[in-house]
Amino acid sequence: MIGAFLESARRWLGDTPVTDPVDRRNAPFVQVLLLFFCVFVPLNKSLYLWAVLSGRWHGRSMLAFDVATDLLMCVAAGVAVWMIRRGHFRRAVSLFLGTVLAAMVAIYAVIDVKNVAVEVFPLMVLALGGLVLGRRALWSIAALQVLGYAICLASNLLGFVPEKQPALVATGIIISTTGAYLLIAIIVDRTVAALREALAESIAKTNRLEREMAERERAQQQLVHAQKMEAVGRIASGVAHDFDNVLNVVLGYAMRRERLADRGAGALVGALEGVETAARRALAISRKLLNFSRQDSLRPEVFDVAALLRDIEPMLRQLFPAEVRLELQADAAGLPVRADRGQFELMLLNIAANARDAMPAGGRFAVRARRAAGAPAMELVLADDGSGMPAEVRERVFEPFYTTKPAGTGTGLGLAVVYDLVHAAGGQITVESAPGQGTAFLIRLPLAEDAAAESAMDLAGGHA
């Protein structure tokens, strides 16, 4: 209960429309001080009123003047709180401190000099003015306070107070009080100066850091732009490589046009569907290049590798000449993975195109997809009977722009893209090859069993 009340009060005190960050931090404390002043001073003066009414104290004329000045200061404190709640923090503090100083100077003119040394309000006013309003306000308050002490001394020496102190005693009290007060003012001044210097240094460092961050951000943007312009050239080479694979598929259908025509309209329709599929893949490649300036990212989705292999099988057959035998095997249970489907298809075409180039006299290209033994993963093996690779080539086969093909026939990007795609999907790829013994790529990807199960449940729910 008490904790909730205190938390609510803390939020209320902090909810002020003060723009300056330092003033906004000081606003809760100053409000508490002003509210305490509004409560404490009336309670304190009520004890004196009770003493007068009960006949235990006879300073009625002094009490009336004291109560009037205290009432004026309480009203100023309440108005100051109202002004702070509306965002006028410094005006509010200046109003309150000015009222207190005016009341103090008026009181000093009518009180005994011996009562000056025990006043607490001058120290409170000095500290509050210096910490909140700064050094100019601090020394202005100090000057007005010294003026009040001078008025008090003059009033005592001229006999304007009921109990006149000896001149030497009165002068000594005022001098010692003024000296102590000025010493405290110097301490507060140095403390405030150190705090404000530290604050100024902090603000300067913050501004310098913001400028450095802005400059670094601009430099980073320029670097990214430069890297993007460099990458555009590389991607253009990669796109040309992928287009070459797709166009080889289209060319394969075109070269078999007479044979397909002999098989009838159905074969021609099937061939045209294959050409359409290849053209759509080429369109997807060009869109990826056009969208590169917008930094399009991969679009992973869950799909069945076995089903994808069956869909892409006609394209793979058209990619190879008649001298190359294509073998495709996949588990019937399904092999769901999460990856970019279009990039996955291009990955298969890249590896198949390399296998075709490695078997100019013909051979066998085998694709096998199966579940990994003892792990929730899928293994995809793509093997050919081609010329193979020596060890030094095999170690660099996934490096960008590394190629052993003649100029104009390879960019060195195909297998680098394959490597990045596999690792982006959370998988691994390895290669086994030796001169004259062919090449085999082993791709291992985690299965997306949960996603596949959810899809199955959604389908079952839809049929229900």
Closest CA to 304 of 451, 424, 457, 444: 451
pLDDT value of residue 462: 44
pLDDT in tens, 210-259: 888 888 777 766 655 565 555 455 556 556 666 777 777 777 777 776 77
Q: Write the single-letter amino acid at 209.
A: L
* Rounded average pLDDT over 393-412: 69
pLDDT value of residue 440: 94
| Low-confidence winner among 103-117, 310-324, 358-372 (lowest mean pLDDT) | 103-117
Closest CA to 312 of 332, 331, 326, 300: 326
pLDDT value of residue 305: 92
pLDDT in tens, 150-176: 877 787 777 666 666 666 767 777 777
Residue by residue, what is the 3-state secondary structure of the chain? CHHHHHHHHHHHHHCCCCCCHHHHHHHHHHHHHHHHHHHHHHHHHHHHHHHHHCCCCCCHHHHHHHHHHHHHHHHHHHHHHHHHCCCCHHHHHHHHHHHHHHHHHHHHCCCCHHHHHHCCHHHHHHHHHHHHHCHHHHHHHHHHHHHHHHHHHHHHHCCCCCCCCCHHHHHHHHHHHHHHHHHHHHHHHHHHHHHHHHHHHHHHHHHHHHHHHHHHHHHHHHHHHHHHHHHHHHHHHHHHHHHHHHHHHHHHHHHCHHHHHHHCHHHHHHHHHHHHHHHHHHHHHHHHHHHHHHCCCCCCEEEEHHHHHHHHHHHHHHHCCCCEEEEEEECCCCCEEEECHHHHHHHHHHHHHHHHHHCCCCEEEEEEEEECCCCCEEEEEEEECCCCCCHHHHCCCCCCCCCCCCCCCCCCCHHHHHHHHHHHCCCEEEEEECCCCCEEEEEEEEECHHHHHHHHHHHHHHHC
pLDDT value of residue 54: 65
Specify the higher pLDDT residue, 452 or 398.
398
Q: Write the single-letter amino acid at 107.
A: I
* Rounded average pLDDT over 444-450: 82
Q: What's the pTM?
A: 0.42
Specify the higher pLDDT residue, 20 or 379.
379
| Burial (CB count <10 Å: 0-12, 13-18, 19+), residue 370 | middle
Closest CA to 242 of 270, 206, 277, 282: 282
Q: Which of 155-159, 281-285, 397-401, 429-433 has maximum average pLDDT?
A: 429-433
pLDDT value of residue 464: 39
Residue 57 has pLDDT above 70, yes or no: no
pLDDT value of residue 444: 94
pLDDT value of residue 146: 81
pLDDT value of residue 367: 93
Residue 453 has pLDDT above 90, yes or no: no
13-22 — which CB contacts under 8 Å span 24+ positions? 16/84, 16/85, 16/87, 16/89, 17/86, 17/87, 18/84, 18/87, 18/89, 19/87, 20/89, 22/199
Model confidence band, residue 459 (pLDDT cutoffs 50, 70, 90): very low
pLDDT in tens, 337-388: 998 887 788 788 888 888 888 898 889 999 999 998 888 899 999 999 998 9
Specify the higher pLDDT residue, 277 or 402.
277
pLDDT value of residue 120: 67
Distance CA 308, CA 380 (A): 12
Q: How is residue 313 written in tokens?
A: 């099988």
pLDDT value of residue 401: 67
Residue 442 has pLDDT above 90, yes or no: yes
Q: What's the sign of the alpha-carbon dihedral 329, 331, 332, 338?
A: negative
Q: Which of 19-23, 82-86, 194-198 has maximum average pLDDT?
A: 82-86
Portions of the chain given CATH number 3.30.565.10: 299-463
pLDDT value of residue 333: 76
Q: How is residue 267 written in tokens?
A: 């074969």
Backbone torsions φ then ψ of 212, nearest 5 degrees: -65, -40
Residue 123 has pLDDT above 80, yes or no: no
Model confidence band, residue 114 (pLDDT cutoffs 50, 70, 90): low
pLDDT in tens, 30-51: 888 888 888 887 877 777 667 6
pLDDT value of residue 156: 74
CA distances from 74 to 44, 77, 115 (A): 12, 5, 22
pLDDT value of residue 433: 92
Distance CA 257, CA 255 (A): 6
Q: What percent of the chain has pLDDT over 70?
A: 75
Please provide the CATH number assigned to the domain covering 299-463.
Answer: 3.30.565.10
Average pLDDT taken over every residue of the chain: 77
